[in-house]
Amino acid sequence: MFTAGVTLLPWTGRRIMNGETYMSHRLTKGNENQPHPHLNPLPEGEETFLFPPLQGEGQGGDGVFSEQKGFTYIAVMMLVVIMGITLSMTGRYWSTIAKRDREEELLFRGDQIRKGIEMYYKWTAQKHGGSGLYPESLEELLKSKYSMAPKRSLRRMYKDPITGKSDWIVISDPATKKIMGVRSASDEEPLKTSNFPLTYREFEGKNKYSDWVFAYASQAPAQPKK
C-alpha cells in the first residue's frame, strides 16, 4: 500500500502473486488513489517493493524482447552456417595440397625406381658384356645376385605414395619377362595433367595414376638369360 502524498519517480512498485502481476502506477500528488489503467492494484494489506522499471515497460516490452531473441537466434544460425562453409573450404584446400604433394612424391619415387632399373641394366651389361639384364625382382635393386659385394641400384625400397603400400604393379620386358618398370596400383584421377618433365611427357592427359608408367627401355632388346 502507498501513503498519500508520496512521490515515486522514476521507480515502480511491482508484486507478483498467484501468477498475476500487480503494479502501482507512479505516484504524484493528487493521483494517490487512482488505479493504474492497465494493471491490477495491489490487494489490501499487501506490501509493495521497489525496483527500476523494465526496458520497454508500458510500450510493448515483451514484444521487444521477443524480437531481440529472434534476431540473436538468426545471427547465431548465420554464424554457424558461415563457419561450416569456411571449414569445408579449408578442408578441401588442404586436401588438394596433400594430393599434390603425393603426386610429386609419386613422380620422385617412380623416377628413382626407373633410374635404379637403368643402373642395374647398364651395370650387368658391363659385367657380362653385351646386353644388360633386367632384375627379376625389385629387391635385386637393393642387392644384385650377380655381385658378391652389396651392389645397390636403388637406395631403398619405396612405397607407392598414392596407396601408401608396397603394391607397385611391375612392367615386364616382353622378351625376358623380367622387370623393366613399375606403375601405381591406384586408378584415382590425378590433379596434374600437364607440364611433366621431358622423360615423362607421355603422362600428359592421363586420367589415372596407374597410367603413369615408370619404365626403362634399353636401346637394344634385352636378351633372355641362357
Burial class of 176 by CB neighbour count within 10 A (0 to 12, 13 to 18, 19+): middle
Q: Check residue 17 and give its pLDDT.
A: 45
For the segment 167-177, the average pLDDT, to the nearest whole number, is: 94
pLDDT (tens digit per residue) in 125-153? 888 777 889 999 999 999 877 766 667 88
Instruction: Tell me how far apart the alpha carbons of residues 108 and 67 are, in angstroms, rounded to a whole number.
Output: 62
Q: What are phi and psi of 107, to 5 degrees?
A: -60, -40
Residues paired with 17 in a beta bridge: 20
Predicted confidence at residue 128, as pLDDT, reads: 73
| Domain extent listing, the chain | 1-53, 77-215
Instruction: Give the list of residues 6+ apart from residue 116 with CB closer than 8 angstroms, or none.
Output: 141, 153, 154
Q: pTM for this structure? A: 0.59
Which helix (H) or strand (E) covers residue 116, if one does?
Answer: helix 61-128
pLDDT tens-digit series, residues 75-119: 888 888 888 888 777 777 788 899 999 999 999 999 999 999 999
